[in-house]
Structure 1
Amino acid sequence: MTVGTTRFVAVLSSPRRPSADPSSGGPPSPPGIDPEEFRLALLEDTYEVAAGLDLVTPALVLDPPDQPDAEAITWPGTPIVRERGLAAAFAALGALGAEEAVLLAGDAPDLPPLLIGKLFRALGSAPASACQARGPGGPDGLVALAARLPLPPWLDAALADVDLDTPDALARLRAAAPRPGQVPQGPAWHRLRTRADLGVLDPGLEGWENTRALLEGHPLSS
């Protein structure tokens, strides 16, 4: 990463509405664990990944803006952004002084910090970079999106119709770019969006302590 560049890593707290699709597996928490408590554990662990990085400022993005329980997981002094949509979140981080920023999905508690570093390095030759989310049928949305700030107009416009849950988000962003190579891809990683996703957690992998504590005594696969 370029020395002297001001970088932020912001975790998105955006509670997902219950899905009407029974095949989605329902809330990711196992029976006996409160879904909201579990969501906050995922969020806190993801935030801890961001807060543990060197040479970056961790932040929290709240959408909707009133989430006192989510705010409570952060360290003192953490910037809190209350904005709806990725473009607005990037703009708010830029207003805080960020020259480069990564937006992280709040349900990736075991994300390796190395992946975030790869996204920042890609910004040395491209205005944006992304890490796709692994789904049961292939790529499904994004785990993280990085960008140099302020956003170029084409990316700002494209983010009006794209969020981290958009299944073909990377393809849409690349299609909006004026030329190839504007949105390089980092290694894919998983998110925990359904109960079936719990099976991807590796008990031998360090981190995700809050999630691990809630899952103690519960199987990781349905």
Structure 2
Amino acid sequence: MFGQCLVFIVLSTLHLTLANDDPSLNQFRGHILKNNGKYEIVTSLLDSYKEIDSKMDNILATGFWNQTYNITGWSVLEIKTSENQTNIDQVYAAGLLEGQFTRELTGMQWQNTINEICFNRTDFCGKLKEFFLIQLNWIYTQIDSHPNDDYWHQIYLLLVQLNGLIDGNQNISRGPRKQLEDPLGFFLFQVATSIDDLAIHLGFDNITRHDSCSALIK
């Protein structure tokens, strides 16, 4: 088992006017609890957040979100998982909390950069979905066929965390799982910079390039 402490510094080059310039309205705290097999997402503004007893044995993750991209161009996300919990619960909870904190920013990013990929491109995205399903099904098979392999276990954890991110973004907790329900949904964030190469591979040469990518992770 392991404890995660993740700090993401997210840079936005856009001036997003929906953010509030009042610092007290940009800072959030939250945590994930597990009770009777169900996952509970709790987030609120920093000033109204109620601290939880750190000795509780059902705390999966805690986090902080400083949503200041409209002020400084940066936002900061901190998530810490409980090392006494299973790896599966830790990564799923980390995804849940990140997805919940970043819902607004993720929605804007989708509209700005991802939504156009499949807009009026039924043929292309049909082929793209088919391609992704083949690749993902192969990955699922490898995970199931190598239950004691460290590499495939890490791939499994990545998929569980991605599904946690999706659930947090949609404000629902469906529990840890590896299968992605919609390969043309959140998964596109992961592969957007490869869309042009995939388009050529699939026989489409008129797809807009999405080849710029940058990140700073501490």
Superposition TM-score tier, normalisation by shorter sequence: under 0.3
Q: How high is the TM-score relative to the length of structure 1?
A: 0.26
**TM-score of the pair, normalised by structure 2:** 0.27
Structure with higher Rg: it is 2
